[in-house]
Structure 1
Amino acid sequence: MKKELNWAVLGCGVIANEMAQALEHMGKHLYAVGNRTHEKAVTFAEKYGVQKVYDDFQEMFHDPDVDVIYITTPHNTHIEFAREALAGGKHVLCEKSVMLNSRELAEAIALAEEHHVVFAEAMTIWHMPLYKKLWQIVETGDGEIPALGKVQFIQLNFGSYKEYNMKNRFFNMNLAGGALLDIGVYALSIARSFMSSQPDQVLSQVKYAPTGADEQEGILLMNPDGQMAALSLSLHSKQPKRAVISCEKGYIEIMEYPRADRAIVVEAETGKVHEITAGATADALLYEMTDMEDAILNGNTGVMRLKDTRDVMELMTGLRKEWNMKYPGEEW
């Protein structure tokens, strides 16, 4: 087994830049880059000292020197690229939303198993140190903070104001736009991570943008253990990125998720407030990639929480089926 992995990135956008910087913080350099526009890939490579730029980025999938590929392109392209990368024997870290629907995700997981490689979603919720610490506090407590007991109710808000430009990725159906796959995936991931089992009761209301993409929605969830969650999502009205996890013996409040590094815990009986800090917002990609390397090199695949990714995708697919909101060319 190799001790050092060669990373390649597909795409040259914001996430790709953060990924290259994270590798530098890990004492490494990005090995290769591919992009639909070759000139952008060359400029990106010069900026970060990337060794290899492909004339045809499809060559990345078959380059024997590439170990793991980070797919950062729009999520409606993920299955196309993941299919080729996994079949080429590459480990794949795929930006959220990992796929369009559960059928695509099942195909990617099956391909990864067939070719004995790791496939995972680059979902920052799974990897930020703060969430790992909070999950522990709920279960067992931490120092002077007692265990909070069973999670009862979760409230999640996520809203941003996007101008009504129907050609951009937020509202464009051809680019799989909409609030659910863009920001709802974060809220659902937090909810799932604090719930003991997958929600099996789902209610929702949705408001559509003129393109037919979901602009705003309210979602209620409940699982067989009686745990509930309420989500408020919008792409055209600003809301705080706020999560409140209410437990039997206290509550947790997280501000500015998903890349949160601070939360408060309030004990129910005494009202005592504890400030919890862990990790750093700026290092979000570093945590994702460190866990991915752990999964590949040490077989610690549980840190990638693929089951939770699958559960969240199942919820999103079910919601869009209920809304009859299907992307062009999509197969359920």
Structure 2
Amino acid sequence: MAEKKALRWAILGTGVVANEMAQALTNAGKEIYAVGNRTYDKAVDFAQKYHIKKVYQDFHEMFTDETVDVIYLTTPHNTHIDFMREAIKHGKHLLCEKSITLNSRELNEAVEAAKEKNLVLGEAMTIYHMPIYKKLRKYMASGKLGKVNLIQLNFGSYKAYDMNNRFFNMSLAGGALLDIGVYAFSLARSFLDSKPNEILSKVQYAASGADEKSGFVMTNKEGQMVVASLSLHSKQPKRAVISCEHGYIEIMEYPRAEEAVIINAETGERTVLRVGEQKKALQYEMEDMEAAIAGDIALMRLADTIDVMAMMSEIRTEWNMYYPSETPGEIL
């Protein structure tokens, strides 16, 4: 039997997460074929650091390079849809940093285009790929804790009030919802029976007009409830509690969790689950992406990504909060 051909990865962008993925690919014994960046010199430095042979003078050449199989897209999320259009047009699989797009309209376009080309499109969402979540979802499927009734989520970061940085700048699609809310909503959706169909929210804005902090109460048709709070200017524990009929699960540092505690409400017994490593978060994403390209497409949980984006787009429509590239009222 012929040996399976290794996928040829290219990375667009050279920021923090691009470095993390490059390290993950290197640690897993994968060869990074190419890198591209708006600033050529940064791409050259990145290539030297990770022994990458191909550096594009114009990063758009990445999309037309027939040698490239899969692109890891790490640029700011307001740039994603344009790059996704180019990549899909030229037959590239895409692993895209969160948030995968700005809104549902963009995501639906990309999903349909990828489907037509028989390409894998996935969001680099750690909650879908970390081993602890796979183990917890399997545990929940066993029915030992019964039905999920309530999920409580907190995520707060302290970012300095600089209205020009990516956290608050509307031209860079700043705001808590797309930057950190996507983690909270992705965790919730992955443990709910269906997408919430009723969402109540309260938001306060930064001086730039970006959402600085917000709170949510959501319910779905099964009567499951989610309560979440987000902030970009006050620290909160990254804590999730999944409350069920017969007990609850507590997860700390949930974006890249490696441990969860299961508490049996009837006996008081505490079971600690520990699996995976935070430092391998992007390696798990990469491994699932390669497995999806090989045929196990369900690993990318694209249906959850679509639901989460719909939730965020519905919320921003209710808030009447749009980014400069968007047409008000037309993001769903």
Fold conserved (TM > 0.5)?
Answer: yes
Task: Specify the SS of the correspondent of 1:258.
Answer: helix
Pick aligned residue for 1:316 from 308, 312, 316: 312
CA deviation profile, 1:197-218 (whole Å, cap 9, x unmatched): 1110100000000000000000
Q: Using the alignment, how far apart are the partners of 1:27 and 1:38 within structure 2?
A: 26
**Counterpart amino acid of 1:242?**
R
Give the aligned partner of residue 323 of structure 2. 327
Give the aligned partner of residue 91 of structure 2. 89
Pick aligned residue for 1:280 from 244, 263, 277: 277
Q: Using the alignment, how far apart are the partners of 2:25 and 2:205 within structure 1?
A: 39
Q: Using the alignment, how far apart are the partners of 1:28 and 1:300 within structure 2?
A: 20
Task: List 4+ stretches of structure 1 deviating above 6 A.
Answer: none
**Counterpart amino acid of 1:228?**
M
Give the aligned partner of residue 254 of structure 1. 251
Say whether residues 1:213 and 2:213 are aligned partners. Answer: no
Offset at residue 39 of structure 1 (A): 0.2
Q: For 1:1-332, what aligned pairs fall within 5 Å after superposition?
A: 3-140=5-142, 147-297=144-294, 299-331=295-327, 332=331
> Which TM-score applies when normalising by structure 1?
0.97
Q: Using the alignment, how far apart are the partners of 1:181 and 1:88 within structure 2?
A: 28
Task: Specify the SS of the correspondent of 2:221.
Answer: coil
Task: Specify the SS of the correspondent of 2:207.
Answer: coil
Q: Using the alignment, how far apart are the partners of 1:230 and 1:221 within structure 2?
A: 7
CA deviation profile, 1:61-108 (whole Å, cap 9, x unmatched): 010100000000000000010110011100000000000000000010
CA deviation profile, 1:169-191 (whole Å, cap 9, x unmatched): 00000000000000000000000
Q: Using the alignment, how far apart are the partners of 1:2 and 1:109 within structure 2?
A: 27
CA contact (8 A) 1:112 1:119 kept: yes
Offset at residue 49 of structure 1 (A): 0.2
Q: Using the alignment, how far apart are the partners of 2:47 and 2:4 within structure 1?
A: 24
Task: Specify the SS of the correspondent of 1:57.
Answer: coil
Offset at residue 29 of structure 1 (A): 2.0
Task: Specify the SS of the correspondent of 1:9.
Answer: strand
CA contact (8 A) 1:173 1:213 kept: yes
Structure 1: any 5+ residue segments left out of the alignment? 142-146
Task: Specify the SS of the correspondent of 2:32.
Answer: coil
**Counterpart amino acid of 1:160?**
S
CA RMSD of aligned residues (A): 0.9
Q: Percent identity?
A: 64
Q: Using the alignment, how far apart are the partners of 1:5 and 1:140 within structure 2?
A: 35
Offset at residue 2 of structure 1 (A): 5.3
Q: Using the alignment, how far apart are the partners of 2:79 and 2:326 within structure 1?
A: 11
Structure 2: any 5+ residue segments left out of the alignment? none
CA contact (8 A) 1:188 1:312 kept: yes
CA deviation profile, 1:259-318 (whole Å, cap 9, x unmatched): 000110000100000111010000000000000000102x11000000000000000000
Offset at residue 3 of structure 1 (A): 2.6
Offset at residue 327 of structure 1 (A): 0.0
**Counterpart amino acid of 1:249?**
H
Q: Using the alignment, how far apart are the partners of 2:97 and 2:39 within structure 1?
A: 20
CA contact (8 A) 1:94 1:120 kept: yes
Offset at residue 194 of structure 1 (A): 0.6
Q: Using the alignment, how far apart are the partners of 1:38 and 1:257 within structure 2?
A: 35
